[in-house]
Amino acid sequence: MVRRLLLGCSAAGSALVDHHVSGDDAAVVTDDEAWVSTLRERSIAVVEADPTDPSAYPDEAAIVVVAGDDAARNLAAATAARERYPDALVVARVGDGATAARIDALESVADRVVDPTAALADRVCDAIGVDVGAGEGVESTEEGVESGIGDTGERPSRLVRTLRELSGPLLVVAHDNPDPDAIASALGLARVAEAVGVDADVCYGGDISHQENRAMVNLLDLSLRTVDGIDLEDYGGIALVDHSRPGINDSLPEETPVDVVIDHHPPRGPVDGTFVDVRPDAGSASTLIEEYLSRLGVEPDRALATALLYGIRVDTRDFTREVSGRDFEAAASLTPHADESTLERVESPSVSPETLRVFAAAIDRRDVRGSTLATCVGEMHDRDALSQAADRLLDLEGIDVTFVYGYTDGVVHGSARARGADVDVGELLRDALGQVGSAGGHADMAGMQVPLGILAAVPDETELAAVVEEFVGERFFEALEDRRPETTGTTPDGRGSPYPE
């Protein structure tokens, strides 16, 4: 059986013959007469024929490399090879004069596509100290990380180079109290690291309290560590996923040096790291991780594929919130590898009494002003219940913005949601509470954390809830008035008002 089949003739093809394509299990198909003679003199099996003609191919091949100079012929050869060997690994060179449409077509039939010109430019820029940016020219600015110029094909090679240059294993850190997207993307990045020969551990701070998150971890038997007891000195590198700054919503010291950052949330400021990929146009971090797995030819196992697919579905609210074409493509790629029956079980877990209590408190204490609803649930023990309540309350008729908040362990936590609103809730929370805590997120999904500070000294629980409501809620509504002075609908009389009609 022919294990390695080389189609076409080029300088790259010649180098492959010199180093890899030789022996009884290798063959070459080319119509370059001079090269045919050279290969035969070296006792390499060669067929003088058009490399795009499948009738010239051997009966079987495990790996096919398309290495011609001409882009059109490379596409034709890759297409023929894919049809002839559906289970083979097909690696194709882009070729000279390739258009964007031709590259897209090549990527649809080949497992891996190589562009030597782009790779050379990347290496030259790296050698002379020019930062071409993470992927689409991602560059750090005072406002954060934003898109510029560049080629998305550069990201995988830059990530692999960063990982291989680490002095030891990689620690992948999800944000505290991780959601499905953070868990899945952390595990996915660890899989990428292991695929390139770098050991990796995944850790998180806080708790996995949301019933669906616990169900995902348990049913998929996912391997995670808590940050407690981890010695950072044991690792050669630190990676952050689904957040971008150490010490902000994770349990790392703020001064922790970071090597890799992969996130989809708009950053609040400059993002430091050897490799930084922050793309707010993506609906989830899992989407970005799937892109790396796909471009590097790393097939996720069933558990990882299921987790990544669930992470995308949760963060995009089943493709109805902050969704992009990239999210659909990632989900389509993951679906054949995912376990749909497990997903159904994860999405239908039992609801804890604490979650129901938070829902009840959110409804009972709601403050509706126009089309905006804010509610303080008081002391709570399940922070994930806040986001669930914010999502559910958004279904109320006449409501397009919700903000649910409560406190535990000396910190006020909150989640905001918007649908069809004329305000950006990420910016709204930053305006309202960014000066006294941590706040931000997307236009229709955001969160905040504010230390209770001296407010915690209020002895009576009922009084404390009222004080927190006045401090946090009024800041929220004041910031809303500044951003949207004209609201629609009626203004019911606080928490005792009926559901809006």
Cα–Cα distance for residue pair 399/410, rounded to 1 Å: 30
Q: Matching CATH topology for 2-114 and 353-496?
A: no
**How many Å is the Cα radius of gyration of the chain?**
27
pTM of the predicted protein model: 0.54
Give the residue extent of every domain in the chain: 2-114, 130-347, 353-496
Facing residues of 26 across strands?
4
What per-residue confidence (pLDDT) applies to 113? 85
The residues of the chain scoring below 70 in pLDDT are 1-2, 10-25, 116-153, 209, 348-350, 484-501
Structure tokens belonging to residue 361: 């408190």
**Fold adopted by 130-347:** inorganic pyrophosphatase (n-terminal core) (3.90.1640)
What per-residue confidence (pLDDT) applies to 17? 62
Task: DSSP for 455-478, please give it.
Answer: GGG---HHHHHHHHIIIIIHHHHH
Instruction: Using alpha carbons only, give the angle 20, 118, 289 rounded to the nearest 5 degrees.
Output: 85
Residue 35's closest CA among 82, 69, 80?
Answer: 69
What per-residue confidence (pLDDT) applies to 167? 93
What per-residue confidence (pLDDT) applies to 131? 45
What per-residue confidence (pLDDT) applies to 13? 59
**Fold adopted by 353-496:** Diaminopimelate Epimerase; Chain A, domain 1 (3.10.310)
What per-residue confidence (pLDDT) applies to 172? 97
Q: State pLDDT tens for residues 359-401.
A: 999 999 999 999 999 999 999 988 888 988 998 899 899 999 9
CATH code of the domain occupying 2-114: 3.40.50.720
What per-residue confidence (pLDDT) applies to 383? 84
Structure tokens belonging to residue 39: 């290969």
What per-residue confidence (pLDDT) applies to 11? 57
